[in-house]
């Protein structure tokens, strides 16, 4: 059953949760580096400040693209939490990132261009794995609807361990963490200035940041589905997965795009496809 209430709750609460998660992330990162770190609510101060700043743009279309990125991220997340079709959710999710890339291409800046190209490479790298995750969940639960997958009592993680590991790798790309923070980063890699967000200022950058919070909470929901049979285990899995991401972020340096693409596809192929093949073999083909 699709319930718009959960979608509405997501729209209202996801930025709050996402912002606090970002704050905890920065605090833990600082502690790992032996620093005190910013206040917990720092991400909210940052975004609040960005909306106080002047909106300096190169072309008007940047405003539209930044807004579209936020809106389509919201649509995909709300569809997901409302219990909609997983394939439609992934479609809207990809579309939102295409808007970000278009926004970066709209401004004639070389740094922005490099960022946009790298963002496209990242989309190419993670997309197969996310589709495979949806297909894997369909093979286990016989449904593409999030509401059905979330209501299942089957421990999906036991059927899809390979796909889950592949998904964790993709999570690193999606959360813009090292070593896969190619297109832009929250940290001080400055060789491409700020990559895809270079030419976005003030309110537009604020919208992109809020969209990133929505994205974080949406991805948490995706992790939840793997452990949907038990809510406490699912919440623990989300916390542990995120802590591992922070640790990886602080341990590795940024890698080249070739390595990102190759490793993401090799992991998707080795773990994802083999996982699906074993599942297919054991179940004796898909019964409808």
CB of 103 to another protein, least distance (A): 13
Q: Which stretch binds another protein (CB under 8 A): 7-15, 41-49, 226-234, 236-244?
A: 41-49
Q: How many angstroms separate the Cα of 31 from the Cα of each of 86, 156, 210, 247, 252?
A: 37, 35, 24, 11, 17
List Cα–Cα distances, 190 to 181, 204, 226, 230, in angstroms. Answer: 12, 20, 36, 43
49 binds another protein (CB under 8 A): yes
Among 78, 140, 150, 205, binds another protein (CB under 8 A): 205
- Which of 84, 203 has the CB closer to another protein? 203
98-171-21 Cα angle (round to 5): 100
Q: Does 108 bind another protein (CB under 8 A)?
A: no
Q: Return the residue of 55, 94, 143, 152 that touches another protein, per CB under 8 A.
A: 55
Q: Contact region for another protein (CB under 8 A) — 9-17, 42-50, 66-74, 116-124? A: 42-50
Q: Toward another protein, which CB reaches closer, 26 or 97?
A: 26
CA distance 55 to 193: 19
> In the structure encoding, which two tokens stand for residue 88, read together?
């439609």
Listed ranges 9-17, 54-62, 75-83, 97-105: which one lies at the site for another protein (CB under 8 A): 54-62
Q: How far is the CB of 132 from another protein (least distance, A)?
A: 36
User: Does 201 interact with another protein (rule: CB under 8 A)?
Assistant: yes
CB closer to another protein, 151 vs 193: 193
* Residue 52 near another protein by CB under 8 A: yes
Tell me the DSSP string of 239-279.
HHHHHHHHHHHHH-PPPPHHHHHHHHHHHIIIIIIHHHHHH
- Does 281 sit near another protein (CB under 8 A)? no
Rule CB under 8 A: is residue 253 a binding residue for another protein?
no
* Site for another protein contains 200 (CB under 8 A): yes
Q: How near is the Cβ of 277 to another protein at its closest, in Å?
A: 46
Burial of 264 (0-12, 13-18, 19+ CB in 10 A): buried
| Identity of the residue, 112 or 275, whose beta carbon is nearer to another protein in the bound complex | 112
If DSSP codes are grouped into helix, strand and coil, which group holds residue 57?
coil
Of 1, 5, 12, 54, which one interacts with another protein (CB under 8 A)? 54
When binding is defined by CB under 8 A, the residue of 118, 194, 207, 212 that contacts another protein is 194
Place of tokens 């090292």: 178
Residue 85 forms beta bridges with which residues?
145
Contact between 199 and another protein by CB under 8 A: the answer reads yes
Nearest-angstrom CA–CA distance, 123 and 131: 12
Pure H helices in 33-109: 42-52, 61-82, 86-106
251 exposure class (CB count in 10 Å sphere: 0-12, 13-18, 19+): exposed
34 vs 284, which CB is nearer to another protein?
A: 34
Site for another protein (CB under 8 A): how many residues? 33
Strand, coil or helix: what is 77? Answer: helix
What are the residues binding another protein (CB under 8 A)? 26, 30, 33-39, 42, 44-49, 51-56, 188, 190, 193-194, 197-202, 205
């Amino acid at each position: 059953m699709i319930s718009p209430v959960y979608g509405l709750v997501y729209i209202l609460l996801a930025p709050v949760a996402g912002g606090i998660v970002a704050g905890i992330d920065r605090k833990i990162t600082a502690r790992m580096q032996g620093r005190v770190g910013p206040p917990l609510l720092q991400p909210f101060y940052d975004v609040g400040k960005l909306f106080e700043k002047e909106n300096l743009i190169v072309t008007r279309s940047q405003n539209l693209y930044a807004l579209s990125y936020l809106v389509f991220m919201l649509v995909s997340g709300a569809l997901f939490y409302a219990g909609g079709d997983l394939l439609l959710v992934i479609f809207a999710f990809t579309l939102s990132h295409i808007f970000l890339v278009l926004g970066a291409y709209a401004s004639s800046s070389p740094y922005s261009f490099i960022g946009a190209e790298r963002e496209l490479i990242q989309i190419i790298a993670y997309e197969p794995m996310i589709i495979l995750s949806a297909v894997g969940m369909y093979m286990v639960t016989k449904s593409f609807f999030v509401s059905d997958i979330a209501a299942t009592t089957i421990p999906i993680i036991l059927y899809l361990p390979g796909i889950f590991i592949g998904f964790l790798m993709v999570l690193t790309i999606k959360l813009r963490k090292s070593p896969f923070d190619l297109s832009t980063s929250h940290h001080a890699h400055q060789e491409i200035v700020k990559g895809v967000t270079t030419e976005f200022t003030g309110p537009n950058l604020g919208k992109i940041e809020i969209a990133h919070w929505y994205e974080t909470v949406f991805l948490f929901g995706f992790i939840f589905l793997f452990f949907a049979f038990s809510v406490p285990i699912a919440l623990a899995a989300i916390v542990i997965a995120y802590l591992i991401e922070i640790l990886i972020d602080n341990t590795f340096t940024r890698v080249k795009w070739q390595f990102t693409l190759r490793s993401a596809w090799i992991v998707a192929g080795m773990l994802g496809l083999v996982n699906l093949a074993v599942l297919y073999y054991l179940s004796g083909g898909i019964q409808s």
